[in-house]
Amino acid sequence: MTYSTGMRSAVCLAALIAGSAANADVTAAQVWEDWKAQLALYGEDSLTIGAEETSSGVLTVRDLAVRASDDDVTAEVTIDTITFNEQSDGTVRVTMDDSYPVVVTGDDGVVVTVIVSQQNMEMIVGGDPDAMDYDITADQYLIALQDVVDGDVTFTGDAEIAMNDVDLTYNVAVDDMRNISYNGTVASVDLLVDFQIPGGNGEYVTGGGKMDSLTMQAEMSMPLDADFNDADTFVDGGFAMAGGYTIESGDYVFDVNAEGDQASGALSMGSSMLSAEMSSSKLGYTSKTDDLVLNVVSSDFPLPIELSLAQYGVNFLMPTGSAGESSDFAIGFDLVDLNISDAIWNLFDGGNVLPRDPATIQLAMSGTAKSLFDMFDPEQQAVMDSGELPYELESVTLDTLNVDAAGAKLTGEGAFTFDNTDMQSFAPMPRPEGEASLEITGFNGLLDNLVAMGLVPEQDVMGARMMVGMFARSTGDDQMETSLEVLPNGQVNVNGNRVR
């Protein structure tokens, strides 16, 4: 059963209700209208209200229900009572039930119910009707599993996320778009999973974790008539977002016994971050984690798995439209100082032939490309489905190339531009112009070690040495370099020698 889409919808609904949080005059009715406008994003029939009562500056909403659905799941939040109370300083204090359910129903009839609880939550709304500020604090914000019902089987267990000491500011400003921004801190986040698998003869899943010092921020712009259920028109209508989070440290443990297999382990990490951006013109993502340590014991593997990383990260930036526009792109990968235990090394290098220094792989490329069609235009979706390359490459730069492992090291850099009016000289690609260089250290020593280990036959190594020797020149003891240059007339030089 897969409920990731539904759970994401449920969490978004819960977060919007909790933060739907400072100083000018707003009325209770104006704040409630702002809530209704935001909740309507989930669809025309997403919001139902039992009653609205107004008395002496206090507006009370009863039996509120918000529903979000797609082809696979439906998520619904229900709250018995929400009160908007006007204060003497021109702000509005919002209170609601200390807990409320979120029900996720799959298209297979399975129903998952989670309970959202808030301890000592305080929400104050100020600003003005067209730019409201929400200040929210809470001792704890808890999302916990109540049960899973599949036909006549009801499954219960512990699965919860607790956010402690929450301090959040949330702003909603309306002009020709609905602009939402927030930033906040959470002192710590506690994770817990502990349940028996139904009908599993004692099989179980347990785990826990803690994240310290979570900070988060984001900015979003949405069309006034936006509909989450129509993603194409949602983005094409001007939706844009950029945001992310940082975590100071995290520690996690798990123990799983399922389908005859057992695995347990621990994961710890230092600081980590994630940022993302999305609009009708680009899509970007960056993540980085420092000081990662993993230890796993599994019945499927004969030895404990122990490894550590000084840093791990990925990033990409890609244009998404409009057709004919030139935009930046980038892609990168960092795996720095990977250490694995001697027990694992000995599986393939029992003679301790290879150097066991930490391994590093780093690659970063950037450039410009022209979109050939708008990816978010529904009328152009057929072009994407055709499998044609959606970009016209204009330039590319090798910003970083650093591979250091098993006693050998490869580094490089370079930059090229591409003439898309000449598709014949280097068919089927456009004609390039530019240069690149590579440096290799320890290559022959690595080949010797692979032969000594019996992994590569000596005759195969001879061919590799000859091939590298054709394109690289020696600069020292087991050190080589090579340079590639492509001139405007299409001439190609390798190490200063013309090869084309």
The pLDDT tens digits of the residues spanning 388-401 come to 667 889 999 999 99
Of 141, 192, 193, nearest to 168 by C-alpha is 141
Q: How much is the average pLDDT of 182-207? A: 91
Q: Determine the Cα–Cα distance for residues 87 and 124; give it in Å rounded to an integer.
A: 9
Q: Determine the Cα–Cα distance for residues 492 and 433; give it in Å rounded to an integer.
A: 9
Structure-model confidence comparison of residues 92 and 6, the more confident one: 92
User: What percentage of the chain exceeds 70 in pLDDT?
Assistant: 89
Contact 383, 391 (CB under 8 A): no
Cβ contacts of residue 3 below 8 Å, gap of 6+?
Answer: 73, 104, 106, 110, 112
Say what the pLDDT of residue 381 is.
Answer: 61
As given in the structure block, the two tokens for residue 99 are: 């807990």
Q: How much is the average pLDDT of 132-146? A: 96
Q: Which of 35-44, 115-124, 287-296 has the lowest mean pLDDT?
A: 35-44
- What number of residues does the chain have? 500
Total number of domains constituting the chain: 1
Residue 60 belongs to some domain of the structure: yes
| Residue 368: band (very low, low, confident or very high) from pLDDT cuts 50, 70, 90 | very high
CA 194, distance to chain mean position in Å, is 26
Cβ contacts of residue 386 below 8 Å, gap of 6+?
Answer: none
Q: How much is the average pLDDT of 294-299? A: 94
Residue 398 belongs to some domain of the structure: no
Question: Can you tell me which residue has the tokens 């951006």?
Answer: 277
Q: Determine the Cα–Cα distance for residues 494 and 334; give it in Å rounded to an integer.
A: 29
pLDDT of 16 above 70 = no
Identify the helix (H) or strand (E) that includes residue 29: helix 28-39
Residue 190 belongs to some domain of the structure: yes
Rg over alpha carbons for the chain, rounded to the nearest Å, is 29
3-state secondary structure of 378: helix
Q: How much is the average pLDDT of 277-285? A: 89
pLDDT of 185 above 80 = yes
pLDDT of 41 above 60 = yes
pLDDT of 64 above 80 = yes
**pTM for the complete prediction?**
0.85
Structure-model confidence comparison of residues 323 and 476, the more confident one: 476
| Residue 154: band (very low, low, confident or very high) from pLDDT cuts 50, 70, 90 | confident
pLDDT digits (tens, 9 = 90+) for 317-364: 998 876 667 889 999 999 999 999 999 999 888 899 999 999 999 999
Q: Determine the Cα–Cα distance for residues 397 and 414; give it in Å rounded to an integer.
A: 6
Say what the pLDDT of residue 19 is.
Answer: 47
Q: Determine the Cα–Cα distance for residues 414 and 402; give it in Å rounded to an integer.
A: 13
As given in the structure block, the two tokens for residue 152 are: 């006549």
Contact 357, 376 (CB under 8 A): no
Structure-model confidence comparison of residues 200 and 368, the more confident one: 368
Residue 424 belongs to some domain of the structure: no
Residue 437 belongs to some domain of the structure: no
Q: Determine the Cα–Cα distance for residues 446 and 72; give it in Å rounded to an integer.
A: 52
Say what the pLDDT of residue 439 is.
Answer: 96
Say what the pLDDT of residue 193 is.
Answer: 95
- Whole-number mean pLDDT of the chain? 88
- Percent helix / strand / coil, the chain, rounded to 5: 15, 60, 25
User: What percentage of the chain exceeds 90 in pLDDT?
Assistant: 65
Q: Determine the Cα–Cα distance for residues 335 and 309; give it in Å rounded to an integer.
A: 7
Q: Which domain holds residue 124?
A: 1-217+249-271
Q: Determine the Cα–Cα distance for residues 339 and 319; give it in Å rounded to an integer.
A: 36
Identify the helix (H) or strand (E) that includes residue 386: none
pLDDT of 15 above 80 = no
Q: Classify residue 489 as left (phi > 0), alpha (psi -120 to 50) or beta.
A: alpha
